[in-house]
Structure 1
Amino acid sequence: MVAEPLIATEPPPSGHPQDVAAGGMVEIIRSSFALVEPRAEELGRHFYGVLFSRAPETRGLFPVNMEVQRSRLLRALVHVVQMVDQPEELIPFLEQLGRDHRKFGVIAQHYDAVGYALLSAIAAFAGDAWKPPVAKAWTDAYGIVAGAMRAAADAERGPASWLGRVVGHRRVGWDLAVVTVQSSGPVPYRSGQYVSVETPHRPRLWRYLSPANAPRQDGVLEFHVRAVPGGWVSRAIVAHTRIGDTWRIGPPMGRMTAPASNDGLLMVAGGTGVAPMKAILEDLARRQQRPRTQVFLGGRTWDDLYDFDAVRRMSYANPWLDVIPVVETAEEGSGAERGTLAEVVTRYGAWADHDVLVCGSPAMIRATVSRMLVAGTPLDRITYDPFTLD
């Protein structure tokens, strides 16, 4: 006899996202997750083992090598746990996630199977701490997660994904490439957002990339890709992408877009984090009114500022834009500020009256945001997306 699902995939009776933080749910979710997080790798194996046993057809949705996928599960869990008391940000993220999952061919029954596997994994590793209040908190939380994702997916009428043909591949360095892709139709992203891509060299392994240009009617997208250690997809893109390759492109995600206000704008970019910033600057240049914009582009060495000249040319053509290079190992007379981005940006002040956009590696984002908060930058003025390396 097949056991009944542990969870329901509909929101709690009220249906209001604000209820996500009711009744001590936040504290219960976070404290119980803290118990199982040290055993994240085992948790991931347990989750997928139960999922594939309960819904064998889902195995074909994932890559042969599950190592990367297991780590992504944990990152997604951590992100949701961190935002569980911020429904105004969590719900839009889940809606984007639901629309994105259409590209996998996810159907309603899969949400039930995922919920069953998730609660089974948490229960198995929480041990004696898995008591009725904990089970209810996770059940209700997953109900909200699945409800938001399913509602957004069901309401979406656009394509689940787009095909794109590689029309340009330029090596900028041994570990960096600029790839130009012509999509089958305009991808409806906003400048600063990111999309997931699947390449023929790594089927069913998706990587998030930010277009480096504002949306164009001809569907052309430029991506900056750095090969990172252990990066299955990024290394394949840099080393093996060829003109004519066909990519699959998922729906847009992310909340880092050009602010609607004309308050001062601060943009902090490290490494390939310059890509979405260029798209936003291109978008701003098309407007009649633009905010006074300060850009800091940083890296360990000058080689990391591979696109600085292009952004500097944009500043020459737009008097509202100023660009400052930041290098940790700057040579005398180079014209660059010396130090980390976190150090240099806060050296200039708290930027309390600016909208702030930050993009780069996870470590760079954490260091910069933390230091800016200490310096006095209001948290609600800072925007960044939870990027991962691969």
Structure 2
Amino acid sequence: MSFTEKQEALVKESWEILKQNIPENSLRFFGTILEIAPAAKDLFSFLKDSDEIPQNNPKLKAHAVKVFKMTCESAIQLREKGEVVVADTTLKYLGSVHLKKGVIDPHFEVVKEALLRTVKEALGEKWSEEVGGAWGEAYDQLAAAIKAEMKEEAVPAEAS
């Protein structure tokens, strides 16, 4: 299945709406992650020692923006190149960090669910199943690239 021009446009258009209210959407995103999987709190250094999601935590906002933005960029790459191509150093870093934190496949599903719910709430009546499908596919491809790098990273560790 190839990522269509329409899917790319849907992700780009909804990203424009999402980024108009990053603070609120960031809180919604992390709130949803913790609602689905409360134990995930310990995976994020900026949430670890807190009983609640800090309203004005710049690290939380920055992390949420990275996830939203990378998923959007993945959509553009899927359309242009047929695959997600993240800069090697970025992908190595993401693989390494996710591996060290103990991130496993179900964690990626939690983030996807939270991402889709956040996009749906942010878009309101502009949301459609088609928009959700486009964001879902872009996220799945990005997650697959990170997981592949995690496997790469784990091999040398097992060999030593």
Give TM-score scaled by structure 1 length: 0.33
* CA separation of 1:75 and 1:143: change in aligned 2, threshold 3 A: closer
Q: Name the one with the larger strand percent.
A: 1
Correspondence for 1:30: 12
Correspondence for 2:116: 119
* CA separation of 1:58 and 1:122: change in aligned 2, threshold 3 A: same
Distance in 1 between residues matched to 2:130 and 2:16, nearest whole Å: 16
- 1:45 maps to which of 27, 38, 49: 27
* CA separation of 1:47 and 1:100: change in aligned 2, threshold 3 A: same
Q: Secondary structure at the match of 1:91?
A: coil
Q: Secondary structure at the match of 1:34?
A: helix
- 2:76 maps to which of 79, 85, 89: 85
Does the 8 A contact of 1:44 with 1:70 survive in 2? yes
Shift of 1:82: 3.8
Q: Name the one with the larger helix percent.
A: 2
- Structure 2 spans left out of the alignment, 5+ residues: none
Q: Does 1:132 align with 2:129?
A: yes
Query: Could you tell me which amino acid in structure 2 is paired with residue 45 of structure 1?
Result: L
Distance in 1 between residues matched to 2:103 and 2:71, nearest whole Å: 20
Q: Does 1:69 align with 2:77?
A: no
State, as a whole percentage, how many aligned pairs show the same letter. 23
Does the 8 A contact of 1:115 with 1:142 survive in 2? yes
Number of equivalent positions: 142
Does the 8 A contact of 2:95 with 2:147 survive in 1? yes
Does the 8 A contact of 2:18 with 2:25 survive in 1? yes
Match runs of 1:273-284 below 5 Å: none
Does the 8 A contact of 2:26 with 2:65 survive in 1? yes
Correspondence for 1:158: 156
Q: What is the CA deviation profile of residues 16-39 of structure 1, one whole-angstrom value per residue up to 9, with x for unaligned ones?
A: xxx34x242211100011112111
Q: What is the CA deviation profile of residues 338-390 of structure 1, one whole-angstrom value per residue up to 9, with x for unaligned ones?
A: xxxxxxxxxxxxxxxxxxxxxxxxxxxxxxxxxxxxxxxxxxxxxxxxxxxxx
Distance in 2 between residues matched to 1:115 and 1:82, nearest whole Å: 15
Please identify, of 52-61 and 74-83, the stretch whose mean Cα deviation from structure 2 is larger.
74-83
Structure 1 vs Structure 2 CA RMSD: 2.5
- Structure 1 spans left out of the alignment, 5+ residues: 1-13, 160-390
Q: Does 1:103 align with 2:97?
A: no
* CA separation of 1:69 and 1:84: change in aligned 2, threshold 3 A: same
Runs of 4+ in 1 over 3 A off after TM superposition: 87-90, 92-95
Match runs of 1:1-390 below 5 Å: 14=1, 19-20=2-3, 22-62=4-44, 63=46, 64=49, 66=54, 67=57, 68-82=59-73, 84-87=75-78, 90-93=84-87, 95-96=91-92, 97-156=94-153, 157-159=155-157
Does the 8 A contact of 1:95 with 1:153 survive in 2? no
Does the 8 A contact of 1:41 with 1:71 survive in 2? no
* CA separation of 1:106 and 1:120: change in aligned 2, threshold 3 A: same
Shift of 1:85: 2.2
Distance in 2 between residues matched to 1:135 and 1:53, nearest whole Å: 20
Does the 8 A contact of 1:45 with 1:70 survive in 2? yes
Distance in 2 between residues matched to 1:51 and 1:76, nearest whole Å: 13
Does the 8 A contact of 2:23 with 2:61 survive in 1? yes
